[in-house]
Amino acid sequence: MVLLTTRQAADRIGVSVRHVQRLISGGDLVAVGTDRIDAESVAQWVAQRQGSRLRAWEEPTAWAAVALLEGGSAPWLGQAQRSRLRAALAGTTGGDLAVRARNRAEVRRYHAHPRAMAHLAREVVASGATQGVGGLTPAPDRCDGYVDHAAVDRLVRRYRLDVDPAGTVTLRATGMSIAVVADLAAGARHVLAGLDLAGSTDPRERSAGRRLLDRALGVLRG
């Protein structure tokens, strides 16, 4: 495990030490002891934003973007909001979309016992990001999926998950209806998988995710 001081993390992110402390308090960065932060959690925070200063959409808008790109209607937004969002999507790129839609879920990573992985996989809605979409090799040794906010603590206790920024379990906690998430995750355009991959620290995954998003944006533009 590579560790950074709070000052080093602040310099790497480009924010103040106080901001880093707030990120730790909010669970966005993982502190290890006094004045030490897990470098992988910093890398993941940076990857989610990709150096962009774009403001993230609120969670319902982020999910509506996924729905519109999959050819759906996003009925939880009003008609005027959907029209504005569609216009915004028509003028964006896959990389910018990944940044704008990052509030669709809170991302937490854990280590799990290998025997728990298959059971845990049945408790989440997988987007397909680890299943070989976008020309990538499937990663059956990883569990990556969406769950309701209220389910996270239960899963952590039941499967004895330990916080680990480099762990093989990724839980994406969302307030959106899990039934809606499951429907969108099954979309033929792989928009949700593209968003998950585009926020990866792995360059190949990030590139594949952006390609999927750019392809879906191209279909939206007609």
* Confidence (pLDDT) at 27: 78
Mean pLDDT per 10-residue interval, the chain, length 222 residues: 86 86 83 85 80 84 98 96 97 94 94 94 96 93 96 97 93 97 97 96 94 97 90
The model's pTM: 0.86
With residue 63 as reference, give the H or E element that holds it.
Answer: helix 59-69
What does the alpha-carbon distance between residue 60 and residue 90 come to, in Å, rounded to a whole number? 18
Closest CA to 36 of 52, 60, 15, 20: 20
What does the block give as tokens for 144?
């990556």
pLDDT at 2: 85
Structure tokens at 170: 């990724």
Residue 51's pLDDT is 62
